[in-house]
Amino acid sequence: MDLNGLIVGLGNPGAQYRGTRHNIGFMSVQTLLEEVERGNSRAPEQLSGSKFNALLWRIQIPGGGTWLVAEPQTFMNLSGDAVQPLMAWYRLKPEQLLVVHDELDLEPGRLKLKKGGSAAGHNGIKSIQQRLGTPEFYRLRVGVGKPQNREQVIPWVLGRFGEAERDIMNKTFPNIVDAVIRFAVDGPERAINVVNTRKK
C-alpha cells in the first residue's frame, strides 16, 4: 500500500467522553472523513484496525495522495500503544505522522501546526513520543482554552464546551480540515506558514 502518511485524531473511546474537549481530535477526524466523502469520488474506506486497537480508514486527498486516518481506541494516556504499531506495520516515518489534539494553552478556535517540541503535559502526545522514541512528528494543536484554576484541568478537558465555545468550535472545524488538507497537498512547511498566521 503506497501511503503518504498517517493522520491521527486523539480522544477517549466511549459514549461518556463524546463531545468533550479532550476528544477534539476524534471530532476533527470525523469532520475530515465527512468532507472527503462529500468532495471526492472515492469515499473513505474503513479498514480493520482491531490489531492496532484503533478505528482506521484509508482516504484519497485530491492532489495529496493516499492517507491512513486513525482514532486510537486505547485511552488517551496510552495513545502511543495504537500509533506506534500502526506506524511500524505500514513502515511510516515520524515525519509522515500528523496528530490532531486539544491544546490548553491556545484559546478556543486557535490552531497551531508544529513539528516536535515537548508534550506540554498532554498525556496522549507524551505516550506517542515515548513509543516512537522521538518527538519529531507533526501536531495540529486545536485550542480549547484552560480553566482559571490549574487544579480544574482534568474536569475541564473531560467537560463539554459551553454554548459560546461550541459556536466557535463549529466555525473552527472547517479550518481544521483545511489545515490537514494543506498539510497533505502543499507539504508541512507551507501548511505551517498558512495555519499559524491565519486569524481565528
Which tens digits make up the pLDDT trace of 41-64? 688 999 999 999 999 999 999 899
Alpha-carbon distance 163 to 157, whole Å?
Answer: 16
pLDDT of residue 138: 98
Alpha-carbon distance 143 to 141, whole Å?
Answer: 6
User: 3-class DSSP state for residue 12?
Assistant: coil
| 5-195 CATH fold | Rossmann fold (3.40.50)
pLDDT of residue 155: 85
Query: Hey, where are the domains in the chain?
Result: 5-195
Q: What percent of the chain has pLDDT over 90?
A: 82
Residue 146, pLDDT > 90, answer: no
pLDDT of residue 120: 86
Task: Name which of 23-32, 43-52, 99-108, 150-159 the model is least confident about.
Answer: 150-159
Q: What is the mean pLDDT of the chain?
A: 93
- 60, 40 in Cβ contact below 8 A? yes
pLDDT of residue 33: 96
pLDDT of residue 1: 66
CA dihedral 152, 155, 159, 165 (to 10 degrees): 10
Alpha-carbon distance 98 to 20, whole Å?
Answer: 21
pLDDT of residue 136: 97
Residue 36, pLDDT > 80, answer: yes
Catalytic residues: 22
